[in-house]
Structure 1
């Protein structure tokens, strides 16, 4: 009945709250519910489970505000990689939704992300507190702990003003904590030990760039919550050595994920983990002092291993991968990056023993060639993702075998593979017709022939990148536009592509949301006109170094593409301040415009200073 509120008159708060919990999680849905009436606003606040806080003028005050409004929060994510120099230079808005976010509206031109390591003394945190009044402090963590006693996930990314005192308050009040991310925080051993003592349900711990920690803290944590810990990440912690990993191997028997990036970890530590953590499923290592001995132990004891990533290993040989292939039958993902002493024998061992392999990345392993990848193609029919980066010794016949044997391949990434050409791409296109993602960069033997075959056979392709492939021209894009419905397209640096190719894309790919056509010297306004007509969902476009487009084509594009959020257009000589003003005034959703500073009028700068970015501040 018109004018009669059936829902609020009949449904109790508890039932409406339960309905809110069943929402699809979209911000727009929660926004709509919270705006119905004050009652729904209050109930919707009770349904909030996640809070995200970016850089803020006074994070302690924000935390206090959130604690008062959202009493049932379980997950808190705080990221201070974008520091604030003054509270009067920033404006912030609280964005409603299932994930509560505090984000900045504008930023001064001098504010920039800081990834510098914190200071080397925890006590100095207190001495410099007045110099950093706008970083989260121990007082803010204490408020957080008092207000969110049922906290399960806490992420403190680069909160460099937080010390062991604040972390100890979290540990003592939030006994249900399951996930803790301390990346870039200069907390000490006392705080970590308190977590081990109080948080007996802790499962996931990230200690990347926690330079204040030593073996003492991690050993105490391992003893305290070793029975629950399942994931551990360590990077750039100079005072954490094999002693810590020995404790992890002894106490954390349920550990499933380990990520190590350290020059101070040696064989002894990895050996301890391999022997003590037989449930290990994910292992990522960038440890220059680890050798065959440690990886042989992984191959011997870690029979459940599913993901192995090895970065910059120069002290182990094929023996290690042969051991992995012989024992780790469940291996599904393998990444080998800059492993100079591995050869085809390693991939052959993996292919023979790990038939369930689904993802493979070979990056800069100069002794791996064609025969190794051929073995993968013959023995791993479930391969779905393949990345070959800087693999100069891998030739066409390797991809012939992949095309014949890996019918489920969905993603292929080729970078600087000088011996791979059109015939190889044709084989992939004809054999792997479920391909959804194809990225090719600087593979100069690949041209129209291979890409035309992709357009004719890979009807599910949605993501295509052909960066600096100077043999690819309009004919290739015409075939793609006729055969595929792309959402993402990058043809940066393909100088043979002009209006005809982009017009075909505009007419054949109405769901396109991302387009990079930078450094296309033959692209003109006609292509922009067609893109405006055919791609109304376009959100991001890169037009930089396109020397023939003008304000006219740009105006038509932004008039039709009303969802546009970012536009890069530096070094476009025929785009003037009028064109920049047109973009800013026509696109209500625009968030970033990259342009030369001298092309921005004072009026445009006043109107949209927060979304303007300049390639060179003094140009």
Structure 2
């Protein structure tokens, strides 16, 4: 009986065989490709195999083995750059499962992610964020800035933030306040880490940051173009002024019942002098007056869109709007009042470049204020009034001063009637599009000859009359009345 002796050389050879198996697979794949290429280039008479004789045995070639037997993962033959281009063409809805294939695909999938919303602040501070997603350009940090327990399944959402609450929390503390937000020093530390790890950052959303935290982002991220700040004040705006290439800015000041911060004319002036390339500004719950809006109009020459949301502006600020010479879009959202105009109308200018006027969920109480706003916006082309309280026929008649309106959209304005609508737009010779929806006092009737020249008409003013018209002839809508009218019959039934 023969025994096999142990040989260290053979053991090393076997280990080297398994160690270089991937390289051998690549060599075999290359040999197969060359053999196929040489076979295609041979003449037709040389491609035929010689007949087998009794002394010859068929030889196996590398092309007789399928490629899947040579390599366990065929994508290993592709470089990262080629595989990234392939994965980038996969629809976004199907990309999330790609990281389950292998660790390599996990890393490649992370390189394709460009936008993220941070829920755990430690994920940012520990640096794992940049190892997992090295090519981020848009980061949302508001939810990560909140202090909340992950052990509770109840999630409370307040505007841009979502946080967990427990059963022991009092009702007054359900919405976040200053105590439920990380300290400014901790926020600044995270922003400094973020700036060093994402030098190509373009959009940032953060809460309760200080001047130093914004300065670190401005210095390390010169490509920053969009910035959204919550719990903002005048001091923070000193850091924003260092963002030279900033184009879109949203500031949120005080929130009733949650936190109180102040953005005044001082901060708006600092902002205007530092960020002269701004194209869009949204001021939410910010204070200010004529001087602050004037500074923005004079310094930000490229400003095209201004959004005023639930403002705390002082009276007379509307007189500064004409300084925004290139303003194209003006939006009012959830404002309890537009302004308390104290000056004469002859002192009002107009925004010559204005094209869009959008007023939504605002209280329009005074005719003089609305008339002054319409004078400033007299060159507007598209007008939207949506779910505005208080505007009636008399107030809407001030819109007759518009001469260049092409599109009008009315929705949820229940005090405007059909006569008020026609009397206001009868002089709008350029009107091409009209949309009327859920305005119950504008009856569901055939439009008059005033609307005959329109190219686009969407006429659904009264939802109740439309519903009754659709139910006509079906017998529905009356059966319930007949049943409940005979309620006396139910009283005669014996008790069970």
TM-score by length of 2: 0.65
**Aligned counterpart for 1:312 among listed residues 363, 383, 387:** 363
User: Aligned with 2:249: secondary structure?
Assistant: strand
1:333 corresponding residue in structure 2: 384
Q: How far does the alpha carbon of each residue in 1:468-520 deviate from its partner, in whole angstroms, 9 at most, with x for none?
A: xxxxx8759xxxxxxxxxxxxxxxxx9959xxxxxxxxxxxxxxxxxxxxxxx
Change (3 A) 1:143 1:115: farther
Deviation at 1:307, TM superposition (A): 2.9
**Aligned counterpart for 1:24 among listed residues 91, 97, 102:** 91
Tell me if 1:181 matches 2:228: yes
Structural mapping, 1:125-524, within 5 Å: 137-156=187-206, 159-160=207-208, 162-183=209-230, 185=231, 187-197=232-242, 199-210=243-254, 211-226=261-276, 228-238=277-287, 240-260=288-308, 261-267=310-316, 269-284=317-332, 286=335, 287-291=337-341, 300-309=350-359, 311-317=362-368, 319-320=371-372, 323=375, 327-328=379-380, 330-331=381-382, 333-335=384-386, 337-340=388-391, 342-350=394-402, 353-354=404-405, 356-357=406-407, 359-361=409-411, 363=413, 366=415, 368-374=416-422, 382-383=432-433, 385-389=435-439, 392=441, 394-397=442-445, 408-409=456-457, 412=460, 420=462, 440=463, 443=464, 445-450=465-470, 475=476
Distance 1:115 1:398 in 2: 50
User: Aligned with 1:259: secondary structure?
Assistant: strand
2:14 corresponding residue in structure 1: none
Change (3 A) 1:134 1:303: closer
Distance 2:103 2:122 in 1: 27
Q: Does structure 1 conserve the Cα–Cα contact (< 8 Å) formed by 2:286 and 2:312? A: no
Change (3 A) 1:30 1:496: farther
Tell me if 1:52 matches 2:117: yes
Deviation at 1:339, TM superposition (A): 4.7
2:41 corresponding residue in structure 1: none
Deviation at 1:252, TM superposition (A): 0.8
Q: How far does the alpha carbon of each residue in 1:329-354 deviate from its partner, in whole angstroms, 9 at most, with x for none?
A: x325344723547445245554x531
Distance 1:362 1:201 in 2: 40
2:492 corresponding residue in structure 1: none
Flag structure 1 segments of 5+ consecutive residues without an equivalent: 93-101, 120-127, 415-419, 421-439, 454-472, 477-493, 498-520, 522-619
1:43 corresponding residue in structure 2: 108
User: Aligned with 2:227: secondary structure?
Assistant: strand
Q: Does structure 1 conserve the Cα–Cα contact (< 8 Å) formed by 2:135 and 2:198? A: yes
User: Aligned with 2:407: secondary structure?
Assistant: coil
Greater alpha carbon shift after TM alignment, 163-172 vs 286-295: 286-295
1:72 corresponding residue in structure 2: 135
Q: Does structure 1 conserve the Cα–Cα contact (< 8 Å) formed by 2:354 and 2:377? A: no
Q: Does structure 2 conserve the Cα–Cα contact (< 8 Å) formed by 1:363 and 1:388? A: yes
Change (3 A) 1:382 1:167: same
Distance 2:145 2:409 in 1: 34
Tell me if 1:11 matches 2:78: yes
User: Aligned with 1:34: secondary structure?
Assistant: helix
Deviation at 1:107, TM superposition (A): 6.3
Distance 2:153 2:183 in 1: 14
1:607 corresponding residue in structure 2: none
Distance 2:338 2:279 in 1: 25
Distance 1:134 1:219 in 2: 24
Higher Cα radius of gyration: 2
User: Aligned with 2:75: secondary structure?
Assistant: helix
Distance 2:419 2:192 in 1: 59
Q: Which has the higher contact order (CA 8 A, sep 6+)?
A: 2
Deviation at 1:251, TM superposition (A): 0.4
TM-score by length of 1: 0.53
Flag structure 2 segments of 5+ consecutive residues without an equivalent: 1-66, 156-160, 255-260, 485-496
User: Aligned with 1:353: secondary structure?
Assistant: coil
Change (3 A) 1:81 1:150: closer
Distance 2:217 2:358 in 1: 33
Q: Does structure 2 conserve the Cα–Cα contact (< 8 Å) formed by 1:83 and 1:113? A: no
Q: How far does the alpha carbon of each residue in 1:353-397 deviate from its partner, in whole angstroms, 9 at most, with x for none?
A: 31x205333535x3x3212334659967753643345x54x3344
